[in-house]
Structure 1
Amino acid sequence: MSQVQEFNDYRAKMNEKILAEDNKVLKRFFNLDTNAYQEGALSSKTKELLGLVASMVLRCDDCIRYHLGKCHEQGVTKAEVFEVFAIANLVGGSICIPHTRRAVEYWEALEEA
């Protein structure tokens, strides 16, 4: 199973378990997150790029993978992704370098899929 499929399957399985608990606060939070990335004054592509840079600065590998997947779906180019990586490292500092390595690996897996 590919790295991308494994991540997506795990995410879907766990989200289903979380949402099955019928916790109003969690359901509302998940809904807010979904709606925040919809088209608005900013395009959803721009919002995904923003989500990616924030996730890198916050050093959340799961979030990075999620936003890379969404960026790939939105037609973001490799050059655009690398500009996001540059901004994230500039803002977040050298602590972001290991996350950039894993992000590059995941982007390559997305391109292969």
Structure 2
Amino acid sequence: MSNIVNEFNEYRTKMNEVILSKENLVIKRLWNLDTNTYAAGALDVKTKELLGLVASMVLRCDDCIKYHLGKAHELAVSTDEMYELFAVANIVGGTIVIPHTRRAAEYWEALQEG
């Protein structure tokens, strides 16, 4: 897997362990809600992850974008589907999303090389 993918995953894992080791109940509950939000329900997991990715792009959270790209890759989202999603994010978020789209495209390519 690409270096940028490995670096992101290793850092995220390491820091999640640090944060969760502090036993803060509010943080644990918030993260639990986040996990449960993306579980299958009336909407399937793939749809929820893609919604999360669009929201992350519009909110311009590069770490969130990488996380959801990774999940989308695991869920076998196609490159055509991903670029339609990028189009939606850019329409909703405006041109300020373009730099995040560039980084998202770079990360998506790295995931595809994986």
**What is the CA–CA distance in structure 1 between the aligned matches of 2:38 and 2:91, rounded to whole Å?**
24
In structure 1, runs of 5+ residues without a counterpart are: none
**What is the CA–CA distance in structure 2 between the aligned matches of 1:78 and 1:36, rounded to whole Å?**
25
Structural mapping, 1:35-74, within 5 Å: 35-74=36-75
Q: CA RMSD in A?
A: 0.7
**What is the CA–CA distance in structure 2 between the aligned matches of 1:27 and 1:36, rounded to whole Å?**
14
Task: Give the partner amino acid of 2:22.
Answer: E
Where relative contact order (Cα < 8 A, 6+ residues apart) is larger, the structure is 2
- Deviation per CA, 1:68-111, whole angstroms, max 9, x where unpaired? 00000001000111111000000000000000000000000000
Corresponding residue pairs, total: 113
Query: Which consecutive segments of 4 or more residues in structure 1 shift more than 4 A?
Result: none
**What is the CA–CA distance in structure 2 between the aligned matches of 1:28 and 1:13, rounded to whole Å?**
19
Using the size of structure 2 for normalisation, the TM-score is 0.98
In structure 2, runs of 5+ residues without a counterpart are: none
Matched residues, percent identical?
68
Report what 1:90 is aligned to: 91
